[in-house]
A and B are shown apart, each in its own frame.
Chain A
Amino acid sequence: MMLQVSRRQALALGAGALAAAAGLPTAALAKNDADEIVKAFTGGKEPGKGKVKLDLPEIAENGNTVPMTVSVESPMTEQSHVTDILIVADQNPRGGVVRFRLSPLSGVAEANTRIRLAETQNVLALAKMNDGSVFMDTKLVKVTIGGCGG
């Protein structure tokens, strides 16, 4: 007996395959060294939620220059301050984007720059406090025209 596949089933199968092929961006599926960079930064600890705020456009028309702002809630005193802010992109040719180093002298934990994004992907911002705790924020950016010289 022949295996009957209805039109509906075929469509559902097709859609599933497409979704899989598109590689829905999740942190677990980073195609570059993003995971290792994050692990090296956190020391294997699970980053906490909150405190870090990553501002990126939802849709970036030009991946060559995407404005990005990152800020961290912190009193920025000798007792409690942000030491490092790491920005990682999980679908760029290389994961690392930028790492800011701050000190209590900074007074305010906020930085803004323009980054390149090769394609639609998650951007991660991790902030390390002077007590060693790490906080994270992520943002999915849809990129219309990729950067990094495609």
Chain B
Amino acid sequence: MADVKPRIRLDKKDAKKGDVIEVKTLVSHVMESGQRRDAAGALVPRKIINKFTVALNGKPLFEADLEPAISANPYMQFKFKAQESGTLVFTWIDDDGTKITAEEKITVS
């Protein structure tokens, strides 16, 4: 799953201190719930992204523990107040341990 390219959109990358920045993220993933049966009637094993984290300059900014009740291609949107310039690191962690990461730079004046 290393070839997955998550989509991230920030409503502004240059912000004044105190501005609220809205972040939208979308990543392709089946989010197999483990409740579904295939044509032969066997349960399709669970395979979901169970954790989504965002850190700014290494400090946790936003985290989510995902359950099978999150739709396929999980979309996450959140807001934060611009305090300092730096790099936002986005991480999605799969049940099997694979990580999808992405980075965005922001400038706060």
B-contacting residues of A (Cβ < 8 Å)? 64-66, 76, 89, 92-94, 96-103, 105-108, 110-117, 147-149
Q: Which of chain B's residues have a CB closer than 8 A to the CB of A97?
A: 67, 69-70
Q: Across the interface, which residues of A come within 8 angstroms of B67, CB to CB?
A: 94, 96-98
Is A106 within 8 A of B70, CB to CB? Answer: no
Complex contacts, A116 vs chain B, CB 8 Å: 33, 68-71
With contacts A98-B65, A148-B36 taken as known, whether A110 is within 8 angstroms of B79 at the C-beta atoms is yes
User: In the complex, A99→B74 CA distance in Å?
Assistant: 14
Instruction: Report chain B residues within 8 Å CB of A65.
Output: 71-72
CB distance from B87 to the nearest CB of A (A): 14
Q: Are B64 and A89 in contact (CB under 8 A)?
A: no
Contact B20 A114 (CB under 8 A): no
Contacts of A93 in B (CB 8 A): 33, 35, 68
Find B72's partner among A64, A98, A108 (CB 8 Å cutoff). A64
Q: Does B102 contact A (CB under 8 A)?
A: no
Contact B69–A92 (Cβ < 8 Å): yes
Report the bound CA distance from A148 to B56 in whole Å. 34
A72 to B60, CA, bound (A): 19
Which single member of B35, B75, B78 contacts A148 (CB below 8 Å)?
A: B35
Residues of A close to B37: CB separation below 8 A: 149
Min CB distance, A35 to chain B, in Å?
A: 16
User: In the bound complex, do residue A106 and residue B75 qualify as a contact, i.e. CB atoms below 8 Å apart?
Assistant: no
Chain A residues, Cβ within 8 Å of B36: 148-149
CB < 8 Å neighbour of B81 from A92, A107, A114, A147: A107
CB pair A98 B70 closer than 8 Å: yes
How far, in whole Å, are A111 and B64 apart by their CA atoms in the complex?
10
Task: Tell me the bound Cα distance from A28 to B72 in angstroms.
Answer: 30
Q: Which residue of A is nearest B66, CB measured?
A: A98
For chain B, residues 43 to 90, give those with C-beta under 8 angstroms from any C-beta of chain A. Answer: 44, 56, 59-72, 74-83
> Known contacts being A93-B35, A98-B65, is A76 close to B71, with CB within 8 Å?
no
